[in-house]
């Protein structure tokens, strides 16, 4: 057990957890922590102890187990003060997905610096307005979800298509609900294969229900569309931007058993003129990063019991193929 007295942690929570693990746990003890969380420590990227710790924290966060990791640390090192880290993880678990250089402590902005930032943002806005009135034309298919939005429909979730090994459930045969499909897939034995197909309306409905159930979600009012070029468009309102409508285009792939999403393009409507592509401009990177991190964390948490072999995006539908872990 650690004999150090309780210490107050003043770093940003991810950095504080990283330093506490490095200082208070040996490699063998870290391996035990990972094992208790169902994580293979040897398979974590990195050759050094510090690199392993970074990926241990990020893996636990992706799997929705960051609070479990902190609880194990608290049980093993009760003399340390883990309360600040635990409170931060409870309030915002997604922050533990950040790389170390993204997780620095938040510093108070000085008034003169804030003024300079405000002037810079104002100048940037004027530049965008001067040069980008036709920005919506460049956004192309990404913006069209605004002009012809896909509306959520709970009834659509009663007719999903799934294939389980040699069995297939289709609307033409035995119609099956999304909830029932998830139950069937969840009860599969380890190693059993499956494929799930969703269309635009079903994906939009699921996204809408997830966002409505999460008050911390950075976006709302989603409209999802799958394109023939393999991209996924998501048209949402982003709270960080004053609930302005944002059109995002993502690619999705299976990587290491996970579904990984990568932004292809992102646009924000600064003018909000109805039924037109007028007034769309490139989305600021911090807002895009926040929405992408949140979406990836939700996706990882929802799919952590499955290994995905393939993600196929075609016109109006998405197919996810994999096996039960």
Q: Where are the domains of the chain?
A: 13-102, 135-324
Please write the tens of the pLDDT for every residue from 286-304: 888 888 888 888 888 888 8
Whether the Cβ atoms of residue 273 and residue 245 lie closer than 8 Å to each other: no
Q: What pLDDT does residue 24 have? A: 94
pLDDT surpasses 50 at 185: yes
Q: How far apart are CA 109 and CA 107, in angstroms?
A: 6
Whole-angstrom CA distances from 256 to 32, 44, 310 are: 23, 12, 11
Q: What pLDDT does residue 126 have? A: 44
Q: How far apart are CA 236 and CA 249, in angstroms?
A: 11
> Which one is predicted more confidently, 27 or 107?
27
pLDDT surpasses 80 at 207: yes
Q: How far apart are CA 209 and CA 203, in angstroms?
A: 10
Kindly state the average pLDDT of the residues 194-221.
84
Give the three-class secondary structure for 304.
Answer: coil
Number of Cβ within 10 Å of residue 72's Cβ equals 17
Q: How far apart are CA 130 and CA 134, in angstroms?
A: 10
Residue length of the chain:
325
* Reported confidence tier of residue 141, pLDDT bands at 50, 70, 90: low
* Block residue for tokens 């309360």: 83
b/e string for 294-312 if b means 16 or more Cβ within 10 A?
Answer: bbbbbbbeebbebbbeebe
Contact partners, residue 148, CB within 8 Å, separation at least 6 = none
* Block residue for tokens 């996810």: 320
If 0-12 CB within 10 Å is exposed, 13-18 middle and 19+ buried, where does residue 54 land?
Answer: buried
- Report pTM: 0.57
Instruction: Output the DSSP codes for 225-279.
Output: EE-TTSEEEEEEEEGGGTTEEEEEEEEEEEETTEEEEEEEEEEEESS--TTS-TT
For residue 31, give both structure tokens: 């391996």
pLDDT surpasses 50 at 133: no
- Kindly compute the dihedral angle of the four CA atoms of residues 23, 26, 31, 36, in this order, to the nearest 10 degrees: -70
Beta bridge pairs of residue 249: 233, 265
């Amino acid at each position: 057990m650690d004999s150090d007295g309780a210490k107050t942690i003043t770093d940003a929570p991810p950095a504080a957890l990283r330093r506490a693990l490095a200082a208070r746990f040996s490699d063998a003890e870290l391996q035990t922590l990972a094992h208790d969380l169902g994580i293979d420590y040897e398979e974590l990227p990195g050759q050094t102890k510090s690199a392993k710790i970074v990926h241990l924290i990020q893996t636990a966060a992706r799997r929705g187990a960051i609070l479990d990791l902190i609880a194990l640390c608290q049980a093993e090192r009760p003399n340390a003060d883990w309360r600040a880290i635990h409170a931060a993880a409870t309030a915002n678990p997604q922050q533990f997905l950040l790389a170390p250089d993204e997780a620095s402590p938040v510093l108070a902005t000085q008034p003169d610096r804030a003024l300079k930032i405000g002037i810079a943002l104002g100048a940037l806005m004027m530049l965008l307005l001067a040069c980008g009135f036709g920005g919506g034309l460049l956004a192309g298919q990404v913006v069209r979800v605004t002009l012809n939005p896909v509306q959520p429909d709970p009834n659509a979730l009663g007719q999903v298509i799934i294939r389980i090994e040699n069995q297939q459930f289709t609307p033409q045969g035995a119609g099956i609900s999304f909830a029932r499909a998830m139950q069937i897939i969840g009860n599969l034995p380890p190693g059993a294969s499956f494929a799930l197909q969703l269309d635009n309306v079903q994906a939009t409905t699921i996204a809408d229900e997830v966002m409505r159930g999460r008050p911390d979600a950075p976006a709302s009012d989603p409209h999802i569309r799958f394109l023939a070029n393999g991209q996924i468009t998501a048209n949402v309102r982003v709270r960080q931007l004053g609930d302005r409508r944002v059109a995002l285009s993502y690619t999705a792939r299976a990587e290491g058993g996970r579904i990984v999403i990568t932004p292809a393009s992102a646009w924000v409507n600064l003018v909000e003129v109805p039924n037109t592509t007028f007034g769309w401009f490139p989305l600021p990177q911090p807002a895009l990063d926040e929405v992408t991190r949140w979406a990836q964390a939700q996706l990882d948490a929802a799919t952590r019991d499955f290994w995905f072999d393939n993600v196929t995006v075609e016109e109006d539908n998405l197919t996810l193929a994999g096996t039960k872990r």
